[in-house]
Amino acid sequence: MEKNIDLSATETAEAVDRILGDPRGWTADGHSAFQRVADGPTDFVVRLATPATVDAVCGQSGLDTGGKYNCSANDQVMVNLDRWVLATPVYAKDVTAYRALIINHEVGHFLHHGHVTCPGKGKPAPAMMQQIKGMHGCVPNVWPYDAEGRLITGPAAP
């Protein structure tokens, strides 16, 4: 967590742990597993940071987050503080759900999943859909897999 952020690092880490450990998350693929470590080697790090820091880190990888997006840049999953606290209009009444979407979407990129689009009107939005840019007929959903272990996806984004 970036310094001078008035949130509990412990509570934030526990929230990320719950998201990554949810049975509807990336572990449902049967290949992925996550474990928080205090120090030593890591595959990736989730960082909660101000929009300016997210822009700087993501920009080093050629990503334009424009002060409002999150990103996965190399081994860093960058979470924009404004999105973590305020969510987006679609998720404004359920910030906790939106936090799950942020983590699942950006960790999905770390796992080499690309963007997809809405699979059809009224269907759950895939976690790898850029939901912050509109739902395009899909209904909100923050998980990569459904309760039966099926991947929620759609056509590859152009």
Enumerate residues 6+ apart whose C-beta is below 8 A from 14: none
Residue 4: is its pLDDT beyond 90?
no
Q: Are 125 and 139 in contact (CB under 8 A)?
A: yes
pLDDT score for 1: 85
Mean pLDDT (whole number) for 16-35: 96
Mean pLDDT (whole number) for 63-67: 96
Phi-psi region of 16 (alpha: psi -120 to 50; beta: other; left: phi over 0): alpha
pLDDT-based confidence at residue 158 (cuts at 50, 70, 90)? confident
Q: What is the pLDDT of residues 75-129, one digit of tens each?
A: 999 999 999 999 999 999 999 999 999 999 999 999 999 999 999 999 999 999 9
Q: From edge to edge, which strands make up the β-sheet containing 45-49? A: 45-49, 76-80, 71-73
pTM for the structure as a whole: 0.95
Dihedral (CA of 94, 100, 106, 111) sign: negative
Enumerate residues 6+ apart whose C-beta is below 8 A from 88: 98, 131, 132
Q: Is 56 helix (H, G, I), strand (E, B) or coil?
A: helix
* Mean of all residue pLDDT scores within the chain: 96
pLDDT-based confidence at residue 38 (cuts at 50, 70, 90)? confident
pLDDT-based confidence at residue 27 (cuts at 50, 70, 90)? very high
Mean pLDDT (whole number) for 26-41: 94
